[in-house]
Amino acid sequence: MIDLLLPLFFTHVIYSAHVPLLFNYITPHNCSNTTAYFDSLNFQCRNCNGDSIASFNHLYCICPSGTIQISDGTCQKCQQGKKVSSDGHFCIDCSMTKTETQCSLCPFRHFMQRTISSNGTIMTETCAKCPANNKVSTYGDTCIPCLKTDDNCECQDDETCKKVEENKMFVMIELENGSQESSTYIAKNIRRATKGCSNGNTQACQHLANICVLQNYRMQTASACTEFEKIANSMIYKRNNGLLTTPILFYHNSEASIELSRETAISASFSFNINHPNSFLEIILIQYALNGTFIGMKTLSESNLNICSQQKNKFHFGTFYQMQCFIQLQHLLHLSGGQPIFSDLFIAFLNKSGQKQMYAVPILNENIRLHGEFVNRLTPDEFSNSKWILTRRLYFVDSISLDTAQNSAIIRYPEKIDIRVQIQSRKNGQIMPAYVRIRHAEIQRNPEKQLLVEFAITYHTNESQFFLYIEIALFAFAVLSFIFAAIRAYSWGKRSGKMIIDGATLIKLILFECEILSDVFLFVILTPTLFTVFAYKMQQIPQYVIFNSKQEEILLTYILVTTVLKLITLLHCNAHLILTKTFFIDWERPHVTFKTNNKAPVSSDVREDVDIAQPVIWRTYLVANEWNELQDYRKTSVGLQMITMIALLNWLKLENWAAITPGLSTNIPVSTKSTTLSELAIISSIYLTVSVIQWIFRVTIVEQLFLDPFHNMIDLCSISNISILALTHPLHGYYIHGRSVHDQADTDMIRMNQYLHRERENLCGTRGLEAGSGLQTYIVNLPKAFREQFDAASQVLENDIEQLDKHTADHFDATTTNIQKIAKGHEQLNNFLIKFIEHNNPQADYIINDTSLPELLCDIEFTDSSHVGNFIRDKSEIAYSAAFIYGNEWVYLSFELSLFCSVYIFTRSYTCSAFITYIISVISRKLVSTFFTNHLIKSSFVDHRFLF
């Protein structure tokens, strides 16, 4: 075996140096001259020698009918009555007539009897049969005795019997499962093909090369491939003007990774614009029959390799194609014509000079084994691998080589065909050599069997550096997120009155990190994803390509992780909103009415009765109900969002934008391919666009022209003479100053209208907390003394409420008693808050100032409010919405977007994703609403029976 392979290894360097890969685009149609024939090995039109002419298909040269080829290569016409001999070199008399001007060959086991003149010229030819135990000689002109070492076929009267190869290694085909099957066809034909190729017969060399392909390019043991390589290497020295004399099967000059990375191999600029040159991926198949006969040239789109497509349209450059189809085995065999068709692939293009050329397309045959390993199946997601073995020829369907018996025949068919094109980054549309990845499957002959066939065309580029930038950005933002989370945790601890870092602070640090990190992941993943997809579709000269499958898998994992982090953030936000303590401060004073007895005598003492009317509670209940309704108000409608998404994606077919093809079109072929990441890019872009439109429409149009519930809440507080203190943290919250400038709200309609008229005409003071100011909203940072007194008063009320809850069901009298206690405690807490707001509490006071820009950006207070509180002016009058879902819209919106994308990753259904997202969002809001209301009752001490 070593002796067999060593000559091949020594000649590979010589052989590879003479392997051409680039040809001018010439077809047999270009050889229109009657004396020009098409050289299918070198893609040239070559002139016939002497008086010979091209055959009807311009594939070889022949002498005209009735002429013979003489020693100098010219043609000479035969005399009257003479016919051309079987070898075409003599004019003779013969009885075996093929045509009127030519003799035919002798039948099987017949030899040619020739009459030769004294000068060596053949005069006549007749056919005679060899006797028993004799065979035809090598030259076919005599019979010789059969020997024991001879093949029995040559000594039998069987025209179909051919010389069988006895060396079993030469005729073996290794199957997918590792078993080896002997091929009858190879056994009968390999000797003849080898001998013919050795004698310089081009067709025989093609035949031998095809047998090598059928054996899956087996080179480790004796095979058709080893025989072909020995012959091809020996013919290098016999080439005429450097022209090929044998087909090329292997790439011996370099590794696959080098061969597939030749930047200057294809000197053409490809374009996505169909009006520009090289806007289609034109791959040409040079096809040969099994016996080596040249069949012709055909484009890939029109060939049997594109079996799943019925329209056979050209492949637009830059469009990803993905086709799967079930083909009946009988139909597949019919397409192949009963015999395998072999193809050499070339990519055609216009070079920079405007000349059309072809470059050889390497074949990555996944059925090739090396030391028992399918080396071409290594790293299937990579564009190249140094261990790959590249070849030049493939076959379509093989139903002959393993056709040992009708009931046990094995059919081999192309299970997967994947054409991959690598675009050079920032090289104005230049590409690396494309290659074809093909895998054949094996199946027992069953004409009714349905076979799954896959065909794909994909484009790649070296995005490792760009992806590295993404990873660097993730790392950098992750570090910054931790710093910002630490700042927020510090701010939370300060607002909560924490003096040291405890367990609660560390938990908050983790929760804040989850929130910030989820936004980092969402931003860093969506930004390059949207960029690559839309940049790819809008570019004219290809430079960008979407992420490969391995990178896509990593990004999809980040999206799933983002959804989990968003869920944690949502739960944290909901808990934060639910646990907000809210108290309604009633500024209304008891109404004192003096009654005089006018019926008493004038001389008697005048008696005046004092009638004290307590403020009505209905104003508090009204404000509490309106406040409770605010927690269900959002800037976007999730129901409208989901309906719009389904309408745009499914009904208006914007889902077709996800197809990886140049341009934004909803009319795309069925065969075009989209990836999960490209689909998520379209989903997220549409989702964010619809959300932003909703957001802007709600804030700029609805709230400005029709309904602004948060500013209306401020007006309601002023009219109701009720202020609101909402503490989102123990020492931090929001204050709405609702004290009426008229000091009275319990009045009739006429007087209320008078109050509003006076305000409109500026006939009274302003509503603001500060004198001469109309600002009513503040962000409050309270001193610790305030919290201690507030908690002490609140704890008494909370204990009374717990006792009330225990006796509500069965003891009405006890309930009445507890209500009286609660009302009294509520009044005391209300008076405490009034004194604090009016600066009448010597132990707890506050100042009013504006926030600085760093404080606003970092959401932190740098001033110390542990002894003296700090009321920060909220000039937007909307900061207190942070105590509601409205002020945390991004938390809900981003969670719903992440959830929609994650559900789609698993279901691949827009409708299902929208439905699940809507249901989870509604359930979440209902739960938050319930818990928010319950805690509002507990913190504001409003009777739950009057809170709706």
Mean pLDDT for the stretch of residues 406-430: 87
Mean pLDDT of the chain: 85
Q: Which residues of 258-280 are buried (b: 16+ CB within 10 A; e: fewer)?
A: ebbbeeebbebbbbbeeeeebbb
Longest CA span, the chain: 183
Residues 268 and 316 in one domain: yes
Encoding tokens for residue 601?
């005598």
Residues 23 and 125 in one domain: yes
pLDDT of residue 464: 79
The CB density around residue 296, as the number of other CB atoms within 10 Å, is: 14
How far is it, in rounded angstroms, from Cα 356 to Cα 513? Answer: 59
338-363 tens-digit pLDDT: 789 999 999 999 999 999 999 999 99
Closest CA relative to residue 218, chosen from 276, 252, 175, 167: 175
Q: For residue 235, give the 3-state DSSP assignment.
A: coil
* Chain centre distance of CA 664: 17
Encoding tokens for residue 859?
């959401």
Encoding tokens for residue 449?
């069997």
Q: Virtual CA dihedral for 261, 267, 269, 270, nearest 10 degrees?
A: -60
Q: Determine what percent of the chain is predicted with pLDDT higher than 90.
A: 51
697 inside domain: no
Encoding tokens for residue 333?
């065999």
- Which residue's structure tokens are 């507990």? 938
Mean pLDDT for the stretch of residues 569-584: 95
- Tell me the helix, strand and coil percentages in the chain, rounded to 5: 40, 20, 40
Residue 554: left if φ>0, alpha if ψ -120 to 50, beta else—which one?
A: alpha
pLDDT of residue 418: 95
190 inside domain: no
Instruction: Give the sign of the dihedral formed by CA 440, CA 442, CA 447, CA 448.
Output: negative
52-65 tens-digit pLDDT: 888 888 887 888 87
CB-facing half-sphere around the CA of 55: CA atoms within 13 A: 9
Confidence of residue 136 (pLDDT cuts 50, 70, 90): confident
Task: Quickly list H helices, 838-877.
Answer: 853-858
Q: For residue 616, give the 3-state DSSP assignment.
A: coil
Residue 538 has pLDDT above 60, yes or no: yes
* Chain centre distance of CA 85: 67
pTM for this prediction: 0.83
Domain stops at, among 415, 439, 462 = 462
Q: For residue 137, give the 3-state DSSP assignment.
A: coil
Closest CA relative to residue 518, chosen from 558, 475, 556, 555: 558
342 inside domain: yes
H or E segment and range at residue 681? helix 676-696
Residues 257 and 141 in one domain: no
Residues 444 and 557 in one domain: no
791 inside domain: yes
pLDDT of residue 178: 86
Residues 830 and 812 in one domain: yes
Which amino acid is residue 268, in one-letter code?
A
561 inside domain: yes
Domain stops at, among 158, 179, 214 = 158
Residues 274 and 423 in one domain: yes
Encoding tokens for residue 257?
């990774």
599 inside domain: no
419-449 tens-digit pLDDT: 999 999 888 889 999 999 999 999 998 888 8
- Which residue's structure tokens are 């009044």? 827
Beta strands 591-596 and 608-613: pairing type? antiparallel
Residues 482 and 389 in one domain: no
Domain count, the chain: 4
pLDDT of residue 834: 93
DSSP label of 314: -
DSSP label of 634: -
Mean pLDDT for the stretch of residues 121-136: 76
Residues 424 and 468 in one domain: no
598 inside domain: no
Residues paired with residue 297 on neighbouring β-strands, in sequence order: 286
The CB density around residue 200, as the number of other CB atoms within 10 Å, is: 13
Encoding tokens for residue 573?
């936000």
**Nearest 5°: phi and psi at 229?**
-65, -40
Residues 280 and 336 in one domain: yes
Locate the DSSP E strands across 300-355: 321-328, 342-350
How far is it, in rounded angstroms, from Cα 820 to Cα 781? Answer: 32
How far is it, in rounded angstroms, from Cα 93 to Cα 113? Answer: 12
The CB density around residue 21, as the number of other CB atoms within 10 Å, is: 19
pLDDT of residue 160: 44
Q: Which residues of 404-426 are buried (b: 16+ CB within 10 A; e: fewer)?
A: eeeeebbbbbbbbbbbbbbbbee
Q: Which residues of 717-740 are buried (b: 16+ CB within 10 A; e: fewer)?
A: bbbbbbbbbbbbbbbbbbbbbbbb
How far is it, in rounded angstroms, from Cα 154 to Cα 158? Answer: 9
Beta strands 110-116 and 83-84: pairing type? unpaired
Q: Determine what percent of the chain is predicted with pLDDT higher than 70.
A: 87
Encoding tokens for residue 27?
């077809």
Confidence of residue 776 (pLDDT cuts 50, 70, 90): very high
* Chain centre distance of CA 926: 35
Encoding tokens for residue 524?
């860093």
Residues 433 and 489 in one domain: no
Q: For the chain, how far is it from start to end, CA to CA, in angstroms?
A: 93
Is the CB of residue 252 less than 8 Å from the CB of residue 362? no
98 inside domain: yes
**Nearest 5°: phi and psi at 604?**
-80, 165
Residues 375 and 471 in one domain: no
Confidence of residue 816 (pLDDT cuts 50, 70, 90): low
pLDDT of residue 796: 66
Residue 517 has pLDDT above 50, yes or no: yes
Q: Which long-range contacts (CB under 8 A, 24 or more apart) does 199-206 make?
A: 200/235, 200/238, 200/245, 202/41, 202/245, 202/246, 202/292, 203/291, 203/292, 203/293, 204/292, 205/231, 205/232, 205/245, 205/246, 205/247, 205/292, 206/247, 206/288, 206/292, 206/293, 206/294
Residue 155 has pLDDT above 60, yes or no: yes
Range of the domain at 839: 784-843
Most confident of 253-257, 333-337, 600-604, 736-740: 736-740
Residue 124 has pLDDT above 80, yes or no: no
Closest CA relative to residue 207, chosen from 247, 174, 258, 266: 247
Q: Which residue has the higher pLDDT, 590 or 704?
A: 704
Is the CB of residue 221 less than 8 Å from the CB of residue 1? yes
Closest CA relative to residue 86, chosen from 75, 64, 70, 101: 101
Angle between helices 676-696 and 503-538 (to 10 degrees): 110
Residues 401 and 427 in one domain: yes
Task: Give Cβ neighbours of residue 505 (< 8 Å, ≥ 6 apart).
Answer: 489, 492, 493, 498
How far is it, in rounded angstroms, from Cα 657 to Cα 794? Answer: 59
- Which residue's structure tokens are 């808990």? 575
Domain stops at, among 441, 462, 483 = 462
CA of 252: how far to CAs of 9, 12, 229, 249, in Å?
9, 6, 11, 10
Q: Which long-range contacts (CB under 8 A, 24 or more apart) does 21-27 make?
A: 21/265, 21/359, 21/360, 22/265, 22/357, 22/358, 22/359, 22/360, 23/346, 23/357, 23/358, 23/359, 24/355, 24/356, 24/357, 24/358, 25/284, 25/348, 25/356, 25/357, 25/358, 27/297
605-646 tens-digit pLDDT: 555 566 777 788 888 999 999 999 998 899 999 999 999 999
